[in-house]
Structure 1
Amino acid sequence: MAEVTATLSIGQVAERTGLSVHALRFYEQEGVFVSPVRRGSGGRRIYSQDDVDWLTVCIILRASGMPLPALRRYADLVREGAGNEEERLALLLEHHVRVTDQIGRLTQCLDLITFKVGVYEDLLDQDQRPAEPDRRRPSVGGDVPASTPGTSA
């Protein structure tokens, strides 16, 4: 018995992936799909669940900052099949380093933002209490942590 593969329209794939129809056409044009996009009898694009699964990988890689040429190269390698796993690994490891570095930078940013939020929450909390001078905190530069030189409000 032959296996029947469900086919999806470009609109259905757009809905499932969150990509626009334009983005799907763009990815096809850029050679990002592992398999060629098939066409129905009327010339309309038809996709499989495998296409959706591959697009999900592509969406995650793009969202993590993978440049389009690197994504295209990765798709080329996957399309070529077995025997180039070392190059695929190298490409992904390089991207892994970029993402890890980006997370580190964002963590530093978040730490500063969290500190500033706390400072302003404290200031606003003090405004809610009866007016009483706070002798513990200097009034100038009080929202700059001692361990973060060169940082200003």
Structure 2
Amino acid sequence: MSGLSIGQVAERTGLSVHTLRFYEREGLLAHPVRRGAAGHRVYDEDDIGWLGVCIRLRASGMPLTDIRRYTELVRAGQGNEVARLEVLRAHRERVLEQMHELDECLKLITEKVAVYESRLGLREGARECAS
């Protein structure tokens, strides 16, 4: 049986072997992982692609429960696209809110950097804001 070992998948995705096993136990993979003759996990390119989706969703702050729900919908096949869309739209809204909050944080930090650069003579004409 050809395919990728769990170690190879860990190397390709940047996830640890422990995390890959955890994702499998938590039902976050689009389909059950095949097993080789010796009982070892055997992954394929589709698994790598799906793990890439999971990695991005987690990196964007999607809770594991939502990733699991989305995975269950994908696993169930066609006919539930509206439910999938709802999961993704709700998460998109949370990400947009986070981006707005981070943008406000960046503005404050940028102002503070300008203040200290000005005080230290590192930047000409910077506004003097409160420290």
Shared fold by TM > 0.5?
Answer: yes
Instruction: Name 1:45's counterpart in structure 2.
Output: 41
Aligned residue identity for 1:143: C
Instruction: Name 1:62's counterpart in structure 2.
Output: 58
Shift of 1:143: 2.7
Which stretches of structure 1, 4 residues or longer, exceed 2 Å deviation after superposition? none
- Structure number with larger C-alpha Rg: 1
CA contact 1:14–1:21 (8 Å) conserved in 2: yes
Give the Cα–Cα distance (whole angstroms) in 1 for the partners of residues 2 and 57 of structure 2.
26
Size of the aligned set, in residue pairs, is 127
Deviations 1:48-78 (A, max 9, x none): 0000000000000000000000000000000
Q: Give the TM-score normalised by structure 1.
A: 0.80
Aligned residue identity for 1:29: R
CA RMSD of aligned residues (A): 1.4
CA contact 1:119–1:143 (8 Å) conserved in 2: yes
Counterparts of residues 3-22 of structure 1 (less than 5 Å) = 6-22=2-18
Q: What is the identity percentage for the equivalent residue pairs of Structure 1 and Structure 2?
A: 59
1:94 aligns with 2:90: yes
Instruction: Name 2:32's counterpart in structure 1.
Output: 36
| Richer in helix (by share) | 2
Deviations 1:86-109 (A, max 9, x none): 000001000000000000000000
2:129 to 126, 143, 149: 143
Give the Cα–Cα distance (whole angstroms) in 1 for the partners of residues 114 and 5 of structure 2.
50
Q: Give the TM-score normalised by structure 2.
A: 0.93
